Amino acid sequence: MANTMKAAVFEKIGVINVKEVPVPEIDDSEVLIKIVYTGICGTDWSIYNGWYSADKLPMIAGHEFSGVIAKLGKNAKGLKEGDRVTADINMGCGTCFYCIRGEKLLCESFTQLGIHTNGAYAEYVKAPAAQVHKLPENLSFEEGAFIEPVSCVIHAAKAMDARLGSSVAIIGCGLGVLHARMAVLRAAAPVIIFGDNRKRLKIAKDMGADCAIHIDDVEDPVAEVKRLTGGRGADYVIEAVGSVKTYEQAFGMLRRGGKLSAFGIVGEQDTMKIRPFEFVLGEKKVTGSCAGVGSDWTDAMTLIANGRIDPSPLFSKIPLEDLDWALHELRSDPSLFKVFVSPDITKREML
Ligand SMILES: [Zn+2]
Ligand SMILES: [Zn+2]
């Protein structure tokens, strides 16, 4: 095996260079994974712009990946070279108050592979063996690289815990599309999704959403949800945009006693207006959700492997060299959904 590899290094804000760097060295408890695909995520755009993890640059980003085990540490149990895998990117210290309670996502020194440490926009990535998941036989490498986003949606769905027959409204048609699918799988009805992209709304509809509404087609999404739910508001609302305005809308379209799932990431210092009255007399509740972890990953694999979630209509592929281009293109081309980067392909395969 060569000592160097091709990688897309996020050098500083707004600069990505594809260049030769050393192949990561693994310790006894780690594995080296040869990357097949890495999905581009909104978080990568935030890192590129310095809104997130700016203190970690230069860094190789990329946290939604699939590949094949190329090398194993001595203590990597239950795995072998050639295994098709992905890896849970969430790493806790294992000893703090939160880790001991099994709340790794809240760990005092929480890190995510490809977000805070070197990731998968490269030919190889290293990961702790204990975090590696073998892909079921009928799961493609594309689907393997899509487990991370699905696991995030599953984590939020478990926290929200929508009851059968309840109404669910979703704001946002990025991962909101998968939230809509998840609500359908939980036998929620009606499932209402708002978005700014007709193609994605159509996909949500194809996945079973009852109402897929373009925000240009309604005057007031809050009034629309009330109209569709007998004047009450939705039993559950998922904010999957990440803006103060849409969080306020989400809270407004929630019925008394309803639950809001806070999923979209806003700026750290952003604040919103809430009347505490609605928590007290309205008994409204909020569940926050930061990532998918542990069994959220295996549940994601099970749902995809058994066809409950079919993400294949969402996929495009590009060579690693085009990462910079694709990060910008994703902002301007509404037809793109999930773009996979591969170190091995030379031609773009667009949706
Ligand atoms: Zn992601
Ligand atoms: Zn910890």
Cβ contact 125:119 at 8 Å: yes
Residue 351 pLDDT exceeds 80: no
Tokens representing 140 are: 């493609």
305 Cβ contact partners less than 8 Å away, ≥ 6 residues apart:
136, 138, 139, 143
217 Cβ contact partners less than 8 Å away, ≥ 6 residues apart:
none
CA of 27 to the centre of ligand 1 (A): 26
For residue 191, give the 3-state DSSP assignment: strand
Q: What is the pLDDT of residues 87-123, one digit of tens each?
A: 999 999 999 999 999 999 999 999 999 999 999 999 9
Report the pLDDT averaged over residues 227-231: 98
| pLDDT for position 335 | 80
User: Which one of the ligands is nearest to 104 CA?
Assistant: 2
With cut-offs at 50, 70 and 90, classify the pLDDT of residue 44.
very high
Report the pLDDT averaged over residues 27-47: 96
CA of 91 to the centre of ligand 2 (A): 8
Q: How far apart are CA 69 and CA 45, in angstroms?
A: 28
Q: How far apart are CA 341 and CA 289, in angstroms?
A: 27
Q: How far apart are CA 103 and CA 89, in angstroms?
A: 15
| Protein residues within 5 Å, CB atom, of ion ligand 2 | 92-93, 96, 99, 107
CA of 60 to the centre of ligand 1 (A): 14
Burial 305-315 (b: 16+ CB within 10 A, else e): eeeebebeebb
User: Which one of the ligands is nearest to 39 CA?
Assistant: 1
CA of 114 to the centre of ligand 2 (A): 19
CA of 41 to the centre of ligand 1 (A): 4
With cut-offs at 50, 70 and 90, classify the pLDDT of residue 340.
very high
Residue 101 class from Cβ within 10 Å (0-12 exposed, 13-18 middle, 19+ buried)? exposed
Q: Crossing angle for the helix pair 147-160 and 176-185, nearest 10 degrees? A: 60
Intra-chain end-to-end CA distance of the chain, in Å = 34
Q: What is the pLDDT of residues 154-195, one digit of tens each?
A: 999 999 999 999 999 999 999 999 999 999 999 999 999 999
Q: How far apart are CA 307 and CA 9, in angstroms?
A: 35
User: Which one of the ligands is nearest to 151 CA?
Assistant: 1
Tokens representing 195 are: 């978005």
* DSSP symbol at 113: B
Cβ contact 78:25 at 8 Å: no
Cβ contact 87:132 at 8 Å: yes
